[in-house]
């Protein structure tokens, strides 16, 4: 099976019996393409298509990342800089900017967590996602994968590759095969056909020494391992490694996506279809993002005390501002009020913006948060009102209830791609 075996068209993923190729494939492995180098090229478009590496220039410098154009010359990460330059004298060497990479990674992870709360980051530039709970709202796994690829490109200006499969192990192999800037679905009933032609080195846990041992046994492909008695593998590699490889060779991987405990922040960002310089449009977007963040806080049973905004300009330069509140909150009205004040204090005066974002940090369990009620807040306050909205959306779908300011006018597209007017927002089937 190759990347060409799976079409990018949604219709072509449906078999004659009505089943989709991504049925039973809720695990996604998303991996950024040449991450550090791609981040650098956002502000250096003139270098696109050239062999570029990120790394130290000193006598002991090593390559941290390389574009795919550089990799064609045999250059790869962890290679001594001197050797990389011998392989490709025309290399463009850029110093690393880890603050930039951390900021871009945070934006990418925010996209993932907007899709599903089941996100297991592996590093700054890759993660596993379990989208089982998002299928009813966003569509089948392959459609969700395409949405992720589009949002990462639009919001962060870089590309990523996604593997879609029934297990973490196979999803990671799929993304590796689809690189760069690709998508590969491995149907649940074709896992064995996908795995068995691969070299033994593709299996997790097979390093250089283990590969040598397997080669001495005459085992060169995953299929060779699959058809070798487990006892033979155990005698050669030991009980743990032998049984582990035997299971992987048949696609058996029982591990689920493991979410790190203690999520430190919840955020949402939006990239505008066109650069925006109208403060009213930006205020309305801040309101929409604040409502989304607050809703996610309440669903997670947490409240936060620090509200931050992110503003990205047309040239990709980015600034952030934050404010710590008197007490923790999970109320959209309070988040928006703070976010708007932070934005207005910037005094941008019609600056062209590409993206805005809202984040709440300093999270604690909502039950433990001591929240001071505002003096002018009624007995049943804004939190109770927003909880009622949560219940309505759980029953009728996202967007069934929203602030009047977020109901689009007759000529404005709404969040679902339709158009507004004076009519109230109708519940949308299947958007719960």
Residue numbers belonging to the annotated binding site for Mg(2+): 31, 125
Report the Cα 288 to chain-centroid distance in Å: 20
Cβ-Cβ contacts under 8 Å for 196 (sequence gap 6 or more): 221, 222, 223, 226, 249
∠ Cα 3 6 12 (to 5°): 155
Exposed, middle or buried by CB within 10 Å (0-12, 13-18, 19+), for 67?
A: buried
| Residues pairing with 265 in the sheet | 361
Reference 109, options 258, 267, 261; nearest CA is 267
Q: Which residues are annotated as a binding site?
A: 31, 125
Question: Which residues contact residue 66 at a Cβ distance below 8 angstroms, ignoring those fewer than 6 apart?
Answer: 34, 37, 51, 52, 53, 54, 75, 76, 77, 84
Q: Please indicate whether residue 126 is annotated as part of the active site.
A: yes
Burial of residue 406, with CB atoms counted within 10 A of its CB: 0-12 exposed, 13-18 middle, 19 or more buried:
middle
Catalytic-labelled residue, pool 21, 40, 69, 126 = 126
Tokens, residue 35: 């991450």
In 3D space, the residue among 60, 51, 61 whose CA is nearest the CA of residue 87 turns out to be: 51
Q: How far is CA 294 from CA 10, 243, 287, 363, 428, in A?
A: 33, 46, 11, 12, 22
- How far apart CA 214 and CA 225 sit, in angstroms, is 8
Strands in 36-105 per DSSP E: 52-55, 63-66, 92-94
Can you say whether the dihedral through the CA atoms of 71, 76, 81, 87 is positive or negative?
A: negative
Residues 6 or more apart whose Cβ sits within 8 Å of residue 261:
none
Distance (Å) of CA 156 to CA 32, 104, 204: 11, 7, 30
Sign, CA torsion 392/394/400/405? positive
Residues noted as catalytic? 126
């Amino acid at each position: 099976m190759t990347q060409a075996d799976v079409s990018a068209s949604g219709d072509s993923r449906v078999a004659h019996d009505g089943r989709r190729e991504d049925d039973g494939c809720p695990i996604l492995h998303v991996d950024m393409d040449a991450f550090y180098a791609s981040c650098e090229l956002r502000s250096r478009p003139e270098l696109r298509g050239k062999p570029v590496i990120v790394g130290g220039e000193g006598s002991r410098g090593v390559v941290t990342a390389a574009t795919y154009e550089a990799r064609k010359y045999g250059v790869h990460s962890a290679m001594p800089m001197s050797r990389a330059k011998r392989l490709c004298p025309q290399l463009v060497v850029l110093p690393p900017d880890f603050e930039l990479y951390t900021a871009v990674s945070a934006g990418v992870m925010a996209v993932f967590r907007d899709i599903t709360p089941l996100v297991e980051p592996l590093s700054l530039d890759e993660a596993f996602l379990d989208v089982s709970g998002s299928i009813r709202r966003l569509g089948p796994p392959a459609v969700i994968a395409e949405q992720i690829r589009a949002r990462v490109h639009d919001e962060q200006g870089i590309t990523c590759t996604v593997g879609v499969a029934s297990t973490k192990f196979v999803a990671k192999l799929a993304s590796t095969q689809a690189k760069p800037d690709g998508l590969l679905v491995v149907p649940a009933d074709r896992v064995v056909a996908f795995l068995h032609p691969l070299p033994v080195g593709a299996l997790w846990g097979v390093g250089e020494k283990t590969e040598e041992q397997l080669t001495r046994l005459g085992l060169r492909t995953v299929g060779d391992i699959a058809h070798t008695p487990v006892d033979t593998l155990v005698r050669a590699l030991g009980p743990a490694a032998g049984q582990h490889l035997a299971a992987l060779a048949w696609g058996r991987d029982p591990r689920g996506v493991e979410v790190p405990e203690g999520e430190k922040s919840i955020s949402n960002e939006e990239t505008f279809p066109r650069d925006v310089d109208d403060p009213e449009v930006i205020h309305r977007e801040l309101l929409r993002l604040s409502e989304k963040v607050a809703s996610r806080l309440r669903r997670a049973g947490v409240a936060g005390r620090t509200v931050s905004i992110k503003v990205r300009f047309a040239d990709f330069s980015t600034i952030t501002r934050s404010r710590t509140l008197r007490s923790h909150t999970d109320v959209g009205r309070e988040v928006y009020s703070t976010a708007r004040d932070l934005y207005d204090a910037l005094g941008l005066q019609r600056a062209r913006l590409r993206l805005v974002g809202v984040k709440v940090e300093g999270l604690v369990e909502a039950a433990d948060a001591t929240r001071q009620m505002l003096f002018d807040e009624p007995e049943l306050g804004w939190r109770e009102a927003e909880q009622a909205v949560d219940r309505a959306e759980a029953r009728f779908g996202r967007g069934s209830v929203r602030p009047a300011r977020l109901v689009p006018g007759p000529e404005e597209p709404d969040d679902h791609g339709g158009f507004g007017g004076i009519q109230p927002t109708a519940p949308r089937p299947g958007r719960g």
